[in-house]
Amino acid sequence: MTERVGIVVRTRQRPEFLRRALDDIAAQSFRSFRVVVVNDGGDPAEVDDVVAASELPAATVLHIAAGDGGRCVAANLGVREAETEYVVLHDDDDRWHPEFLSRTVAWLDDTSSDAAVAVPTEIVYEENRAGTWVEVGRAPFWAGMQRISLTEMLSVNRAVPISVLYRRALHDEVGWYDETLDAVEDWDLYLRILRAGGIGFLPGEALAFWTQRPDATGRDANSMFALTEEHAADDARVRDRSLAEWVRREGDGLPLYLASLHEETARHIDARVDELERTLRARIQDDLRRELDAHQPVWSRLRRLRRRVGRR
């Protein structure tokens, strides 16, 4: 039987996380999948040993030499290798509900108009205690979200790779992960998908779990923390690139007007904030003055009493 879902696991020098990710995949109720582990610059023997010891019936391992890879290179290499109808990125530190694949595959099977489907996601916070990463709290990622829309996605990314299953064929239409980017490659792809078609949303309980370790450094850190500067730079690069496409096609009239409007609005907000700060400062000073005046008789009596005691 030909497997229907390709699961691409990107990993780099994190054997404990990789072991956990493979166990997570093995727990899926949906079984028609193929796992492609992409070792992005780590020790090949270490990755091979972890994969061999897993409960997965089989997995393909691809090794990228140190310095030749990156997040997008690893993603593209894994997706091309999978050659399946559907594909999903399962980074080594994230997790799924056991029904993730079953429910998302059913959605895409039943909704031909959607190129992809996303699920409700929880952020799982972890801390290193005695050498082991343990869960210390959870929070919803975009609580109450009911859809994936282009309007909202233009503002900020509303999905993460662990939460999105998509049709492998869409790469033939919208292109691959942009290997010039160091970060936000998923957001960039989602924007291109939304221009061409829809991304469905499966409401209900959380089926994907995005782990975050805000205090982690080095190889244990999340990309959103370790690559903060890269995220900001690539976010701007994606926006500038799309704006340039618009200007070439439509001219710069509307962007110039919107930029002027934005600047005027920012000046108005700054002026209003300054005014509120001055008003608040004046009110605080008045309140302190009234408080001191109200207690002045008490302080006067205390000073007189101290002088009398001093004379004795």
CATH of residue 11's domain is 3.90.550.10
pLDDT digits (tens, 9 = 90+) for 176-190: 999 999 989 999 999
Same domain for 21 and 51?
Answer: yes
In the chain, the number of structural domains is: 2
- Percent of the chain residues past pLDDT 90, beyond the cut: 72
Same domain for 72 and 201?
Answer: yes
pLDDT digits (tens, 9 = 90+) for 146-195: 999 999 999 999 999 999 999 999 999 999 999 999 989 999 999 999 99
Same domain for 75 and 155?
Answer: yes
pLDDT digits (tens, 9 = 90+) for 55-75: 998 899 999 998 898 999 999
Same domain for 288 and 144?
Answer: no
- pTM of the full structure: 0.83
Q: Take residue 59 and report the two structure tokens written for it.
A: 């997995």
- The whole-number pLDDT of residue 230 equals 87
Same domain for 268 and 136?
Answer: no
Same domain for 281 and 169?
Answer: no
Same domain for 14 and 132?
Answer: yes
User: Mean pLDDT across the stretch 101-110?
Assistant: 98
User: Mean pLDDT across the stretch 198-222?
Assistant: 88
Give the residue from 226, 161, 221 showing the smallest Cα distance to 17. Answer: 221
Same domain for 36 and 184?
Answer: yes
Could you list the residue range(s) of the whole structural domain that residue 272 is in? 254-311
Same domain for 121 and 234?
Answer: yes
pLDDT at residue 312 above 60?
no
pLDDT at residue 291 above 80?
no
Same domain for 230 and 258?
Answer: no
